[in-house]
């Protein structure tokens, strides 16, 4: 092999490698950001019963409220890839994950109520029943 062919080969190899890196980095999204600190809910919260029946009306209400208040960060499918998520340095979580499936309704309700910076609190903005309906809607994201 002469030196020109050799050089061409190594140039091609470098370009292939660079293209691979670009592909990998373009797949990086909100979910790859570091998770926030552990956020365990108190025992009494975990045990809270959802007083709002998960019927079509509640899920529809939850969906509308989610689109208005949550989607910008948590994304249309709850994957944590909303438009605002790009500007947040920690992960917004993934509502389709096994972790969220394991969390009780009370836990999701409590986190929605209190928030934790940069996640806002919805205590004042939404009524109790509205927050429970959002929890009912969040269940539809489960894989």
Q: Which residues bind ligand HEC (CB under 6 A)?
A: 36, 39, 69-70, 72-74, 84, 88, 90, 92-93, 99-100, 108, 111-112, 116, 118-120, 122, 134
Q: In the 8-state DSSP scheme, what is residue 98? A: H
| Cβ closest to ligand HEC, residue 17 vs residue 105 | 105
In the structure encoding, which two tokens stand for residue 9, read together?
């080969």
Residue nearest to ligand HEC (CB): 36
- Considering beta carbons, is residue 8 or 101 the nearer one to ligand HEC? 101
Q: Identify which of residues 52 and 134 has a Cβ nearer to ligand HEC in the complex.
A: 134
User: Are the C-beta atoms of 66 and 137 separated by less than 8 Å?
Assistant: yes
- Distance in Å, CB of 43 to ligand HEC, minimum: 16
Cβ distance 66 to 136 under 8 Å?
Answer: no
Choice between 59 and 90, CB closer to ligand HEC: 90
Please state the three-class secondary structure of 29-77 as a single string. Answer: CHHHCCCCCCCCCCHHHHCCCCCCCCCHHHHHHHHHHHHHHCHHHHCCC
Minimum distance from CB of 117 to ligand HEC (Å)?
7
| DSSP helix/strand/coil, 115 | coil
CB of 55 to ligand HEC, least distance (A): 19
Compute the least distance from the CB of residue 20 to ligand HEC, in Å: 30
Cα separation, 140 vs 52, in Å, equals 15
d(CA 112, CA 123): 8
Which residue lies nearer to ligand HEC by CB, 13 or 101? Answer: 101
Residue 88: CB minimum distance to ligand HEC, A:
5
């Amino acid at each position: 092999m002469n030196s020109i062919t050799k050089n061409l080969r190594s140039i091609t190899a470098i370009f292939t490698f660079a293209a691979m890196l670009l592909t990998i980095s373009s797949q990086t999204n909100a979910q790859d950001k570091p998770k926030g600190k552990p956020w365990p809910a108190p025992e009494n919260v975990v045990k809270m019963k959802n007083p709002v029946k998960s019927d079509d009306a509640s899920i529809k209400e939850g969906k509308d409220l989610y689109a208005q208040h949550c989607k910008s960060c948590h994304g249309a499918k709850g994957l944590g890839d909303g438009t605002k998520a790009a500007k947040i340095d920690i992960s917004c979580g993934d509502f389709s994950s096994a972790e969220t499936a394991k969390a009780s309704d009370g836990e999701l309700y409590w986190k929605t109520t209190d928030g934790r910076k940069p996640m806002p609190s919805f205590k004042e903005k939404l009524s109790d029943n509205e927050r429970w309906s959002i929890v009912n809607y969040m269940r539809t994201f489960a894989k």
